[in-house]
Structure 1
Amino acid sequence: MGFRDRSYSRGTTMVKWAYCLQLGCVGVFYVLASTQATVSDETTYKSPVPAGKVYFAENFDIEQDFRQRWVSSKAKKDGQEFAYDGKFEIGHSEDKNRLHGDFGLVLKTKASHHAISAALKQPFLFDFLPIVIQYEVQFMNGMECGGAYLKLLSQPTDGKSTPDLLASLNDKTPYSIMFGPDKCGLQQKLHFIIQHKNPITGQLEEKHWKDAVNAGKAMNGKFGDVFTDKRPHLYTLVLNRDSTFEISIDGRLEVQGSLSNDMDPPIYPPKEIEDKDDVKPADWDEREKISDPEAVKPEDWDDTQPAEIPDPKAEKPIGWLDDEPLLVPDPEAKQPNDWDEDMDGTWEAPLVDNPKCKEVGCGKWEPPVIANPKYKGVWHPPMIDNPAYKGKWRPRKIPNPDYFFDERPFNSIPTAVAVGFELWSMTDGILFDNLIITDDRTVATQYAEDSFKLKIRNLDKDNKSFFDETMASFVDYSTQYPWLWGIYVLAVGIPAALIISYCCMSKSNRDEELIRRKKSDLEGDEALLPESEKAEEDQPNVAGGDVADDIADGVEDDAAEDEADQHEESPGGSGSPGSASAVSVAADQSDEEGVKESEETGGTGKQTGTRQRRKARKD
């Protein structure tokens, strides 16, 4: 087998291996994707279970557990009976592709106050560990006006027990954190509020995330969609012990901020404040401009000229009807049959436009008004810079007696012992689900993966194209089985390396093989030559060449012969006399040109032994 055949065979084998690897990896991925599609269609919903430590976790799937854990408030609002009479029930969404067995807490009544809460497994102290709050909200009927936020209820300071706290939940119950969506009319918010304890006064002060009304970055500025699209949305708050926080919607980052810089009012007050007892001096002039006291009204300035005057060039149109009224009784109107002159008075026909006025005009004629060319208006002196101007007066600054600096506002949030919903809403059908409170964000992420994301994939399965389903499977399985990345590397990296290796190395190997074959032929021919010809071969020829030149020429000629062989072996060229004849003539011409060159350089015209043997082989 020749070099060309061997090289082609090796290249073909390498490409085949590349294709096999790629097809194998595609097959593995297809099987996994198909398995997932089958499983997602056939597997029933499983309630999510936290994969680590939690302070609270609720999926609302078992109503009996819900009844044992959650307490409806019996509080009265401002002395009214049954103030918190709104109802919560366990229910599910009406989505076509909802997960069967997946339930949530549904707010069922309109225009009512609702309050329900549950105790944490253990109190959360805002000291060394971060807190992660995450839950789902679905406005199944949209939202007109109302809230869907939750509250972390603070540990009572009046000796009240946690059960009493739950039973008496109302709008004045102290809370540590409030978080979640809220809307009324055109105003919509994503609340994040903390209660911060003032270290000087000991009083709790509300601190609001200052961009609550501008939420929506995670949704490309379309935060309003959460209230109208009737889909579940996931809200996540991560509050770190260094007082930084993150808010996410549907797993996409909404904001990264800090309690020190992003709350309103600020966590700590300014160092200096304005002195409320300071008084502006009597001679303080705040006027930047004043009327020029030296300006004089021009003598030809006439203040009495009006802005508009009758057009002196206007003329009354010919045929104007001065005595005709603009309105006349409607000649086609008739007195109603039930008209009673004793009760209704004398009947009069309604007035309509006088048809005689349509042609020219009727009534008193007045010329139109035009701008008065003599009008200048009231004269005012021009304004100049006030030479006595001192600027805007401000009270002087004094040290703020209430100033303090809180290096870790996180530690000043009161301990939380319960979680609750205390809401008023004009819209019913608000579904809450998969609430979790933990100090480990990976636990919350996994909880969302097993609940919210599974729910969204199931809801969207009819709307996804094959490509979307495939990409979703790719991401999901790559996350679930990291070893798949090794297969991806094999599927792409090794075939690419094999193909590049074949393309880059085949040409150099071909040249080396040609030279090796030529040297081998020369050694075989020299073994058959008489001693005299060998001596002649070892001497430089008359044209100044040597064996190396012949070898180089031979390589070129062999390349030409190989090309000729390819022509002969190609379809339609096998056994073609014309092709063989053309190659033979080209070779003979090459040898004749070599002899001619030798004669021109003063040589004897004698061909070297190499060329003689080449010609003999050609013959």
Structure 2
Amino acid sequence: MKTSVCLLALVAVVAAEVYFTEEFNDDSWEQRWVQSKHKEDYGEFKLSAGKYFGVESRDQGIKTSQDAKFYSRAAKFDKEFSNKGKSVVIQYTVKHEQGIDCGGGYVKVMRSDADLADFHGETPYNVMFGPDICGSTRRVHVILNYKGKNHLIKKEINCKLDELTHLYTLILNSDNTYDVKIDGKSVQSGSIEEDWDLLPAKKIKDPDAKKPEDWDEREYIDDAEDTKPEDWEKPEHIPDPDAKKPEDWDDEMDGEWEPPMIDNPEYKGDWKPKQIKNPAYKGKWIHPEIENPEYTPDDELYLYENWGAIGFDLWQVKSGTIFDNVIVTDSIQQAEDHAAETFDKLKVDEEEKKAAEDAIARAAQEEALKKQEAEEAEQQDEEEAAKEEEEGHDEL
């Protein structure tokens, strides 16, 4: 039995495939990533490890370098593949080192026959995944193409807003489930059918059903036996009984004097009969539902028969985003291993360097504050000395 389990595990490892990786370790990336010619003025990606890094060649990626530009570059996989009967994992890192205010940080994964030289916003894709920040929009997009139409996930997934590197992972499983991870931790998961409107609703309101005319949805009604008290009607405002006509009031010049109006303390407001339980109350009428004849289940919502290219097609107001450590595989373990060799190591170096820089900045701030306090104290001493000297002259 143990032998069988070991053999199965070995087969699983052997069967795992990595279809695409890119770490942008040197200038050769430009030969693999095609620059779109759809527009003439695309922004330029440049190699950069950014402000914080450990090993430059390991931690560098491609960085958006021009403000207020569209960017569009894509690369083909070594071979196309189908994810039938297995998971597909899309993973990469993003660093918005510029403190992004409006711009995309997502990838699009396409078929192998995508025209990368004409890659643009309307180019068909299987999946669009990653962060998008612009004003109040600060979310992780997960858009699935189904039968030629793009569908955005119905759940809100918040993205990271700081200036450090973050790892974004999307897993589509063959049981029609998904998992979105940020920095290796799941932030949203569930059923593809439930969390996207790919299929018509299973049930719809019965078009032949109508609420009965005598259906009473009023839980409470006016008490027919309740009557308004005879002394209820009081004016809301009355003349101020304590007001007196001013002595200098001239009726001929000022007109006839009238006391000012005040709130009537005996005013009770509009009378309404008390409420009682409605004996005819039947509850809120619920429209009956029937099976939707247009609904057909699909056990392969996760499936794309052809994967073969990946690209960045985005707009940025302020440039400075760095993309790196791209991997597309059918193995969650392979994706985790890749993150351990790239993102995890960068994260440690990045956090240490930022912490050191923050410490230096705090020390400089404290020193500046001490200097300011010393200058203010010195100025105060000088002012007090000058005041004492002036008082001495006055005494003489």
> Residue 88 of structure 2 contacts residue 331 of structure 2 at CA under 8 Å; is this kept in 1?
yes
Question: What residue identity is the alignment partner of 2:299?
Answer: E
Structure 1's unaligned 5+ residue stretches are 1-51, 76-81, 156-160, 197-202, 216-222, 324-364, 466-619
Secondary structure of the corresponding residue to residue 254 of structure 1: strand
Secondary structure of the corresponding residue to residue 18 of structure 2: coil
Aligned to 2:185: 252
Q: Determine the C-alpha separation between the residues in 2 that align with 1:400 and 1:189.
A: 32
Richer in helix (by share) = 1
- Tell me, yes or no, if structure 1 residue 179 matches structure 2 residue 129: yes
Q: Determine the C-alpha separation between the residues in 2 that align with 1:316 and 1:249.
A: 78
Count, aligned residues = 335
Match among 37, 41, 51 for residue 74 of structure 1: 37
Moved over 6 A (4+): 320-323, 365-368
Question: What residue identity is the alignment partner of 1:417?
Answer: G
Question: What residue identity is the alignment partner of 1:379?
Answer: W
- Tell me, yes or no, if structure 1 residue 88 matches structure 2 residue 35: no
Q: Determine the C-alpha separation between the residues in 2 that align with 1:455 and 1:321.
A: 88
Give matches, 1:484-503, under 5 Å: none
Secondary structure of the corresponding residue to residue 447 of structure 1: helix
Q: Determine the C-alpha separation between the residues in 1 that align with 2:156 and 2:83.
A: 23
Give matches, 1:247-286, under 5 Å: 247-261=180-194, 263-265=195-197, 268-286=199-217
Q: Determine the C-alpha separation between the residues in 2 that align with 1:123 and 1:310.
A: 90
Aligned to 2:117: 167
Question: What residue identity is the alignment partner of 2:338?
Answer: Y
Q: Structure 1-normalised TM-score?
A: 0.49
> Residue 89 of structure 1 contacts residue 105 of structure 1 at CA under 8 Å; is this kept in 2?
yes
Structure 2's unaligned 5+ residue stretches are 1-15, 251-256, 357-396
Report the CA distance shift for 1:109/1:316 in structure 2 as closer, same or farther (over 3 A).
Answer: farther
> Residue 108 of structure 2 contacts residue 125 of structure 2 at CA under 8 Å; is this kept in 1?
yes
Report the CA distance shift for 1:272/1:144 in structure 2 as closer, same or farther (over 3 A).
Answer: same
Question: What residue identity is the alignment partner of 1:299?
Answer: E
Match among 124, 132, 141 for residue 89 of structure 2: 132
Report the CA distance shift for 1:170/1:98 in structure 2 as closer, same or farther (over 3 A).
Answer: same
Deviation at 1:71, TM superposition (A): 1.7
Report the CA distance shift for 1:301/1:212 in structure 2 as closer, same or farther (over 3 A).
Answer: closer
Report the CA distance shift for 1:130/1:166 in structure 2 as closer, same or farther (over 3 A).
Answer: same
Larger Rg: 1
Q: What's the Cα RMSD here?
A: 3.2
- Tell me, yes or no, if structure 1 residue 117 matches structure 2 residue 67: no
Match among 175, 180, 183 for residue 242 of structure 1: 175
> Residue 192 of structure 1 contacts residue 212 of structure 1 at CA under 8 Å; is this kept in 2?
no
> Residue 69 of structure 2 contacts residue 317 of structure 2 at CA under 8 Å; is this kept in 1?
yes
Secondary structure of the corresponding residue to residue 410 of structure 1: coil
Percent of paired sites with the same residue: 39
> Residue 164 of structure 2 contacts residue 350 of structure 2 at CA under 8 Å; is this kept in 1?
no
Q: Determine the C-alpha separation between the residues in 1 that align with 2:355 and 2:268.
A: 73
Deviation at 1:249, TM superposition (A): 1.7
Deviation at 1:181, TM superposition (A): 0.9
Give matches, 1:193-592, under 5 Å: 193-196=143-146, 203-213=147-157, 215=158, 223=159, 226-227=160-161, 229-261=162-194, 263-265=195-197, 268-302=199-233, 305-313=234-242, 370-411=262-303, 413-462=304-353
Richer in strand (by share) = 2
Question: What residue identity is the alignment partner of 2:70?
Answer: H
> Residue 86 of structure 1 contacts residue 109 of structure 1 at CA under 8 Å; is this kept in 2?
no
Q: Determine the C-alpha separation between the residues in 1 that align with 2:87 and 2:201.
A: 28
With a CA cutoff of 8 Å and minimum separation of 6, indicate the structure with the bigger relative contact order: 2
Deviation at 1:233, TM superposition (A): 1.0
Deviation at 1:117, TM superposition (A): 1.3
Q: Determine the C-alpha separation between the residues in 1 that align with 2:83 and 2:17.
A: 16
Q: Determine the C-alpha separation between the residues in 2 that align with 1:366 and 1:154.
A: 87
Report the CA distance shift for 1:291/1:85 in structure 2 as closer, same or farther (over 3 A).
Answer: farther
Deviation at 1:312, TM superposition (A): 2.0
